[in-house]
Amino acid sequence: MPSQGTIGDRVRGLRLNRRMSQAQLAGPDLSDSYVSLIESGKRTPTPVVARLLAERLGCTTEFLLHGIEPRQRIDTELGLRHAELELRHGDAALAAERFNEIVKAVGEENAMLAAQARLGRARSLEEQGRLGQAVEAMERLRAEASAHPERLADLPLTIALSRCYQRAGDRLRARDLGLHALGQMSRLGVDQGELAVDLAATLIEIGEDNPTEIAFLRRVLETNGVPEVLDRSAEIRTLWEASKAAAAGEDSALAVRLADDAIAAGRPARLGLQLARAAMHWARLESCPVAEAEEHVTAAARALSVFTATRGELGESQVIHARVRLRAGDPARAGELATTALELLGEAPGTVTAQAHLVLAQVSLGLGADATGSLTSARALLTALEGPLYGANRQAARTWRELGDLFGQVGARADQTSAYRKALEAAGVRSALAGVTVHATTPR
């Protein structure tokens, strides 16, 4: 039975196999010219016409429309859902394998299902950190979406690609794609839902803090807020296992329903955590009013405290909250929050841990106390980040720069100069430093 290509290809192939003319297939209900338009891909049959054509061609409506028989389609749909659950709540490498199996099984018989499986495989590659492969796969899918918008939507792909390019270090391409997605979203007037939250989170990762992007971020936060996040991992696992059991018992329809329930159970927490990250970013900016920043960072911390896996981000939220309290003129509370952050983060090398020490240094300076110990600890944590693979890192550059400013406040000029030099290196201008002296009083 012909199954390749488009609906038109299948109609034509089945008609020729049955040695029917277009007029014979059209019968008294349709015109042969309309059948010709369907076969050439210039018309898509309505459900009523599809049922009529399927009856005359001796196939199911499902096969005519999708190139796949009902049982095969539902099994493929179930496979996609189980692979999605593996990606979201299991092993990304195993998810990639499962998506790949679906791509091979479906082949070109159902372009839409094959495209969904290839997108899932690309997202699995991203989750594993195999960014080059993920970008390559998504670029091909985006070209396909442009040529066949009925198979894939361009906007989710653009957002995913922007995020992948950013993580791979190509910030210019990431920002171009992010702004393109933002333009689409603005034209649609969408500032809530999964796509809007995904885009806000992606723009945060790019980190340009452009007024247009910040305005979108604020709209998303105002519309959605940071919801209460619940850990429904046990419920998701129970539904997932029940879906597997139903599939083993040949009850595919029930298995799909249970898998859908499992996926739906995980969605609120995922969106809630993304909104928490968006709230943290907005609270971090000096342009965010103190009262608003306080509200957002408190809500973000509440959401991030639910999962063990977000412990590091919870520590970061405490550092951001500490800086908000410094802006509010409350150094005592800022010191408490920075100390809590260090308890959460430990002394592992990292910019966030270093920033916690910088907050403690600011508190000490405000109280007229010795800040040298906190500054030395921050420098050690930043230095430990360096290595043969160390490249441009904007967050590290900002932290080194702040460290230099604080060394300047305590009169440690040599340390200040060294910190400023490190800031330039972290910003990606290492090759331009030979023979350059950075003046200790370089203005902010």
> Residue 54, class by beta-carbon neighbours within 10 Å (0-12 exposed, 13-18 middle, 19+ buried)?
buried
Torsion of CA 404, 410, 413, 417, to 10 degrees: 0
Confidence of residue 436 (pLDDT cuts 50, 70, 90): very low
- The answer to whether 267 and 252 are in contact (CB under 8 A) is no
The structure tokens listed for 111 are 């372009």
132 Cα distance to chain centroid: 16
Contact 410, 375 (CB under 8 A): yes
Its pTM stands at 0.79
Phi and psi at residue 419, in whole multiples of 5°? -65, -40
Which residues make Cβ contacts (< 8 Å) with residue 3, sequence separation at least 6?
10, 63, 67, 68, 109
Locate 75 and state its tokens: 């099994």
Residues in the chain: 444
Query: Would you say residue 434 has pLDDT above 90?
Result: no
DSSP output for 315-334: HHHHHHHHHHHHHTT-HHHH
Flag whether pLDDT at 295 surpasses 90.
yes
**What would the mean pLDDT of 242-246 be, rounded to a whole number?**
96
Q: What is the dihedral of CA 112, 114, 115, 119, to 10 degrees?
A: 140
Q: For residue 342, give the H/E element and its range.
A: helix 331-345
pLDDT by residue (tens digit) across 251-266? 889 999 999 999 999 9
- What residue has token string 């960014």? 131
Domains in the chain, ordered, with CATH? Answer: 7-66 (1.10.260.40), 70-252 (1.25.40.10)
Q: How far apart are CA 288 and CA 295, in angstroms?
A: 11
Both tokens of residue 63? 């096969």
User: Residue 289, Cβ neighbours under 10 Å: how many?
Assistant: 10
The mean per-residue pLDDT over the stretch 118-142 comes to: 95
> What pLDDT score does 216 carry?
92
pLDDT band at 148 (very low <50, low <70, confident <90, very high): confident
Cα(217)–Cα(208) distance, rounded to whole angstroms?
12
Task: Tell me the mean pLDDT in the region 124-144.
Answer: 94
Read out DSSP for 387-412?
STT----HHHHHHHHHHHHHHHHTT-
Under the banding of pLDDT at 50, 70 and 90, the label for residue 395 is confident
In the predicted model, is pLDDT for residue 391 greater than 60?
A: no
Indicate the pLDDT class of residue 33, thresholds 50, 70 and 90: very high
Confidence of residue 388 (pLDDT cuts 50, 70, 90): very low
Neighbours of 287 (CB within 10 A): 9
Q: How confident is the model at residue 181 (pLDDT cuts 50, 70, 90)?
A: very high
Following DSSP, what letter does each residue of 194-205 receive, concatenated? Answer: HHHHHHHHHHHH
Interacting residues of 298 by C-beta distance below 8 A, sequence separation 6+: 321
Question: Any idea which of 56-65, 78-87, 113-122, 407-416 has the lowest mean pLDDT?
Answer: 56-65
Q: Give me the residue label for tokens 């896996």.
A: 309
Which pLDDT does position 108 carry in this prediction?
64
The C-alpha atoms of residue 335 and residue 260 are separated, in whole angstroms, by 46
Q: Six-digit token pair at 166?
A: 């950013």
Coarse DSSP helix, strand, coil percentages of the chain, rounded to the nearest 5 percent: 75, 0, 25
Give φ, ψ of 139 to 5 degrees. -65, -40
Q: Say how far residue 196 (Cα) sits from the centre of its chain.
A: 11
Q: Output the pLDDT for position 102.
A: 92
Mention every residue, 6+ apart, whose C-beta is less than 8 A from residue 179. Answer: 212, 213
How many Å apart are CA 31 and CA 276, to the nearest integer? 58
More confident residue, 389 or 369: 369
The SS3 of residue 41 is coil
Q: Residue 121 to residues 126, 130, 133, 267: CA-CA distances in angstroms?
A: 9, 11, 10, 19
Does residue 81 contact residue 256 with C-beta atoms inside 8 Å?
yes
Q: CA 181 to CA 198: how far, in whole Å? A: 11
State residue 58's pLDDT score: 86
Q: Which residues contact 329 (CB under 8 A, 6 or more apart)?
A: none
Render pLDDT for 49-80 as a digit per residue (tens, 0 to 9).
999 998 998 888 878 877 776 677 888 889 99
CB within 8 A of 91, min separation 6: which ones?
none
